[in-house]
Amino acid sequence: MRRVESTLPPGERVVYEGHLSMWAMGPWLTLGIVMMIWGVLVGCLGDAAFSAVFLFGGGLLMFGGVVALLLTTQLALTRRRLIATFGIFRPRRVMFDLGEVRRVHVRQGPMGGVFDYGTLVIGRGSAPALRIAGIEKPFTFRERLVRLKDAVLVQVKMAA
């Protein structure tokens, strides 16, 4: 969470964090590992050196990409903002006030229902929706977001 905390104004702190689910990334991690093992086996048992390097390298890239995605995707709620960061080489940061949030949807497939992960779709006004796939416990995140949003709206009404 250091990347998110480094962008916060003084006095503001993270109230709740959302993380990518290992279950959502599991098939890609498994495929990367299987490709690396297959590449080693092809290299050891046959004369197809190019195929072995191709398989091992492809598996390594897939595995590394998924691990990088797991480590760099961060989703955080503060008392006033929703902050999401993505990417390694070109980090992208999306930050908007909770008062701007108009809709929060959770999409879950059958496996997401079993392993409790899903896609969060957060919309604000006429701007394009923010989609974050593979978030673990998406309904808990949505509940916290709505609760904080309601608290912000109550504070705005009391101040007016």
pLDDT digits (tens, 9 = 90+) for 42-100: 888 877 888 889 999 999 999 999 988 888 888 889 888 888 888 877 888 888 888 88
Kindly list the distances between the CA atom of residue 10 and the CA atoms of 5, 14, 86, 122, in Å, as whole numbers in the listed order: 10, 12, 23, 26
Task: Provide the mean pLDDT of the chain.
Answer: 86
Residue 40 predicted with pLDDT over 70: yes
| CB 46 within 8 Å of CB 59 | no
Q: 3-class DSSP state for residue 14?
A: strand
Lowest mean pLDDT among 2-16, 38-52, 104-118, 131-145: 2-16
